[in-house]
Amino acid sequence: MLDVCLLGTGGTLPLPGRHLSATLVRLGGSLVLLDCGEGTQVALRARGWGMRHLNAVLITHVHADHILGLPGLLLTLAFTGKGRDEPLTVYGPEPLEAVLKGLLVVAPRLPYPLHVVTLSGGESLPLAGIDGLRLACDVADHDDVPCLAYALELPRAPKFDVDRARELGLPVPLWGRLQRGEAVTFDGRTVLPDEVRGPERRGLRLVLATDTRPSARLVEFVSAGGTGADLLIAEGMYGDEDMKPARWESPHMTFAEAAQLARDGGARRLWLTHYGPSLSDPDAYLHRATSVFPATQLGHDGMTETLSFEQ
């Protein structure tokens, strides 16, 4: 299971009742933070999931409303008891390392290791410090800085055939290794996992796409070859086209464009987030999205849900 919470749903500027961009994901006792706008640590504390076991932070891009909460968060983590054997890894695109170095002038000494992993888009790798959870990313189309869309993927092991294991006389202590995909040797023979496991089963997939223009590449990333996303969290900077600035082409999506991304990418549900400061009443524009993709919900600060494997 993955617990998901929108800590902040605002874009550009923090507003009363609307923190800046941040999404918190929990797997077991471990936490992952996606983006860290100014004041994120306040929203994180309010959620009550703890802070010490924050293992990874995923930054979509280095614009201020997505990263300026990091110095305060890192300092606060230092007072939770997080120590030398509890590293924190920050992932993101260039120039993440240079920006983080500048931000850390105000937090030069931390009692825990801080690692930086620079991504360029297209990577798929295990998420540091969180067993079983994988990170995938791809390029988003945003303005003058590199920007990434992220997917968090929790694989699901094939169903274990208890009856078959008993027929083979396998001791129960060996079952766990077979469930994990390891071969075992028992009574002079090697038993392969496929002998006691059923077909592959679909896992869980959460996708975050914010600060981007729609693109065919982004649709393919959400789709993941037809896997889709159990939940797509996508920006809705503007309720409709009329809210976009007339003087330049905005590198952001409207409600309808986010809904098209969810529909074309085969997502099961869509949460809208990253509202522009002028979007004081997102509910007035919800129909722009639901007319395209009915399984759309308006995100709000504190919105929380648990994603579970399909039965």
**What are the structure tokens assigned to 143, written together?**
């303005």
Q: What average pLDDT is seen over the chain?
A: 94
Phi, psi of 43 (to 5 degrees): -65, -35
Neighbours of 302 (CB within 10 A): 14
**R_g of the chain, CA atoms, integer Å:** 21
User: What's the CA gap between 254 and 92, in Å, rounded?
Assistant: 24
pLDDT over 70 for what percent of the chain?
100
CATH 3.60.15.10 boundaries in the chain: 2-158+199-307
- What is the band of 23 on the pLDDT scale with cuts at 50, 70, 90? very high
Burial of 187 (0-12, 13-18, 19+ CB in 10 A): exposed
List of residues 6+ apart from 233 with CB closer than 8 A: 4, 6, 23, 206, 207, 208, 209, 210, 270, 271, 273, 299
The pLDDT of residue 144? 81
List of residues 6+ apart from 125 with CB closer than 8 A: 134, 135
Q: What is the CATH number of domain 2-158+199-307?
A: 3.60.15.10
Least confident of 71-80, 172-181, 259-268: 172-181
Active site residues: 65
Q: Are 57 and 37 in contact (CB under 8 A)?
A: no
How far from 145 is each of 4, 61, 70, 105, 212, CA to CA, in Å?
27, 7, 18, 22, 11
pLDDT digits (tens, 9 = 90+) for 91-121: 999 999 999 999 999 988 999 999 999 999 9
pLDDT digits (tens, 9 = 90+) for 233-262: 999 999 999 999 877 778 999 999 999 999
Please tell me the pTM assigned to this model: 0.93
The pLDDT of residue 150? 98
The pLDDT of residue 245? 87
The pLDDT of residue 258? 98
User: What's the CA gap between 203 and 74, in Å, rounded?
Assistant: 32
pLDDT digits (tens, 9 = 90+) for 275-299: 999 999 999 999 999 999 999 999 9
pLDDT at 311 over 80: no
